Amino acid sequence: MTDALFSSNRTSPAQEVDKSSFMKLVVEASKTVPVLVEFWSPSSATCQQLAPVLDKAVRATEGRVKLTRLDVAANRSLVAQLLQMGLPLQSTPTVVAFWQGQVCDLFQGLQPENKIKSFIEQLLKDSGQAMPVAEQLKSADSALQAGELAEAINLYAGVLENEPENAAGWAGLIRCMIAMNDMDGAEEAASQIPEGITSDPLIISALDSLKLYQEGQEYAGKIDEIRQKLAQSPDNAELKTELAKALNGTGQRADAAELLLTIIAGDKEGATGQAAKTELLKFFEAWGMTDPDTLAARRKLSSLLFS
């Protein structure tokens, strides 16, 4: 039955358990490493959907969590005993976490991948561990791109707690602070970067973004003054660039990009157009290469340059 659910061409980290091995492979094993037990049924389509998601999440822990599976249909007497102990095993799949020989958490049914990852991260935290740094960074970067800034900050902070000289962690933390419009937080984070990694390209890029943000905030405070000057000299490219910086500083990214694109369109090959292009590329770097505003402005820039 197990072979039907977990085909031979799929490498699963799960270990099959039954009544005879449950105490040793789950309860006793959980005294040294957290153990997940997926109570599954061979007739459940939901179990088949959950299995690869759970496998992936556990594999990402690199051995910090153990995964086991128990066929409820083949182990009815054990399931009955566990039901009497209060485990809600009336439906499958049910995933139960064991730590120190005790049940510490559970979930039922098919859950989104991010929920399962959070479940495992909490299990690791409860057992005094953390996700591998590479996986934490991947999750942090995803959270930052999705605008889930509080979650991203927590993940980057977790990376730095384990690896204080992780350049990607510091760079991500600074970008989070910028995205939150927290200049003080970004500057404080920048001041704490270990000296040994200040020349890392990720750090240099993040500090460039911070400098651009600081500059934008400075120009934002003078936006009315800049507009008045530009009204008197509407063709002044320098003033247009200052206004673009001010607009960026107030979060008006699309308008800032459009202003620089206008300068480029008027002087594609000249020094003025090249300076505006350089400034626009700085915006892209600060916003993030997959940011919607970056993608939209980059398309316009490409069209402009190759038309």
pTM: 0.58
Digit-coded pLDDT (tens) for 195-249: 999 999 999 989 988 998 898 888 888 999 999 999 999 999 999 999 999 998 8
Q: CATH 1.25.40.10 residue ranges in the chain?
A: 133-206, 221-305
Question: b or e along 120-133 (b: 16 or more beta carbons within 10 Å of the residue's beta carbon)?
Answer: bbebbeebeebbbb
Is residue 28 pLDDT above 70, yes or no? Answer: yes
Provide CATH code, domain 2-126.
Answer: 3.40.30.10
Question: b or e along 206-234 (b: 16 or more beta carbons within 10 Å of the residue's beta carbon)?
Answer: bbebbebbebbbebbebbeebeeebeeee
Is residue 255 pLDDT above 50, yes or no? Answer: yes
For position 290, what pLDDT does the model report? 78
For position 2, what pLDDT does the model report? 39
Whether 132 and 60 have beta carbons less than 8 Å apart is answered as yes
Alpha carbon separation from 245 to 239, 280, 283 (Å, rounded): 10, 10, 9
Digit-coded pLDDT (tens) for 155-196: 999 899 878 999 999 999 999 999 898 999 999 999 999 999
Mean pLDDT of the chain: 90
Q: CATH 3.40.30.10 residue ranges in the chain?
A: 2-126
Whether 5 and 47 have beta carbons less than 8 Å apart is answered as yes
Q: Hey, what are 258's tokens? A: 């459009």
CATH class of 221-305: mainly alpha
Assess if CATH 1.25.40.10 describes domain 133-206.
Answer: yes
- pLDDT over 70, % of the chain: 97
Is residue 6 pLDDT above 80, yes or no? Answer: no
Query: In the predicted model, what is the mean pLDDT of residues 259-276?
Result: 94
